[in-house]
Amino acid sequence: MQRYFRRRGKPSPTLNIQTSARLYAFPLRQVLKIQSSNKGVEIYLQGQLEPQRIPLPLVRVEEQLDPNLFLKISRGLIVPMNAIVRMDKETCFLKDGTSALLSRRERKEIHRRYNDFLFRSL
């Protein structure tokens, strides 16, 4: 896809996160999950063993994300909706082989937003 966008003269879509000191940019299609960790967040990318750490609270990162592409499934975990393999009533299964329990309070809203995303993707 990156080669396609280069040939077309368009940049490949990126996830941009701004802190007070720096702008972080990640290829959107490589982002697997964003997890809260020690007063910051860790961004897990496809093909990389170690997550990228950003010194910004998860709440501030969430404010910068596109709600049509990202879904907060629990208190400390945000995932791109295209990284979800499947979702049952209580659990979300991700492309990287991990799974996470859905927030009990937000389950209906999480399912609604994910179903809307799937419908838009068709």
Residue by residue, pLDDT tens for the chain (122 residues) are: 667 766 776 667 889 999 999 999 999 989 999 999 988 999 999 989 999 999 999 999 999 999 999 999 999 999 999 999 999 999 999 999 999 999 999 999 999 999 999 998 87
So what's the pLDDT on residue 13?
86
Measure the CA angle with vertex 27, ends 66 and 38; round to 5°.
70
Q: What is the CATH number of the domain that holds 80?
A: 2.40.50.1020
So what's the pLDDT on residue 9?
66
So what's the pLDDT on residue 5?
64
Q: Find residue 27's DSSP bridge partners.
A: 14
Structure-block tokens of residue 72: 């907060």
pTM of the model: 0.87
So what's the pLDDT on residue 12?
72
| Coil, helix or strand at residue 30 | helix
* Amino acid identity, position 96: D
So what's the pLDDT on residue 10?
65
Structurally, how many domains does the chain consist of?
Answer: 1
Provide the domain limits for residue 84: 2-121
So what's the pLDDT on residue 2?
66
Q: Rounded to whole angstroms, how far apart are CA atoms 4 and 56?
A: 33
* Amino acid identity, position 104: R
Q: Rounded to whole angstroms, how far apart are CA atoms 46 and 22?
A: 22
